[in-house]
Amino acid sequence: MEDYQQLKVSEFDFFSFYKLIINNESPKTFLLLTKKFKSVFKEIKRSMILIKAAGGIVSNEANKYLFIFRNGKWDLPKGKIEKGEKSRIAAIREVQEECGIKIKSSGDKVCNTYHVYQINGAMVIKKTTWYWMKANKQKKLVPQLEEGITDARWLSAENLMLVRQNTYPLIKDLINVIG
N residues, the chain: 179
Task: Determine the pLDDT at residue 1.
Answer: 45
Task: Determine the pLDDT at residue 161.
Answer: 92
Query: Which residue ranges does the chain devote to CATH 3.90.79.10?
Result: 49-175
pLDDT digit string, tens, across residues 148-161:
999 999 999 888 99
pLDDT digit string, tens, across residues 96-149:
999 999 999 889 999 999 999 999 989 999 999 999 999 988 778 999 999 999
Q: What is the mean pLDDT of residues 26-45?
A: 84
Q: Are the C-beta atoms of 174 and 113 separated by less than 8 Å?
A: yes
Task: Determine the pLDDT at residue 111.
Answer: 95
Neighbours of 133 (CB within 10 A): 25
Q: What is the mean pLDDT of residues 28-41?
A: 86
More confident residue, 170 or 179: 170
Q: Find residue 29's DSSP bridge partners.
A: 4
Using alpha carbons, list the distances in angstroms from residue 150 to 50, 67, 70, 122, 153.
Answer: 27, 11, 6, 28, 10
CATH homologous superfamily, domain 49-175: Nucleoside Triphosphate Pyrophosphohydrolase (3.90.79.10)
Contacts of 36 (CB under 8 A, 6+ apart): none
More confident residue, 44 or 24: 44
What mean pLDDT, rounded, does the chain reach? 90
Closest by Cα among 18, 82, 20, 74 to 47: 18
More confident residue, 172 or 139: 172
Task: Determine the pLDDT at residue 25.
Answer: 59
Distance, in Å, from the CA atom of 130 to the CA atom of 79, rounded to the nearest integer, reads: 11
Distance, in Å, from the CA atom of 164 to the CA atom of 173, rounded to the nearest integer, reads: 10
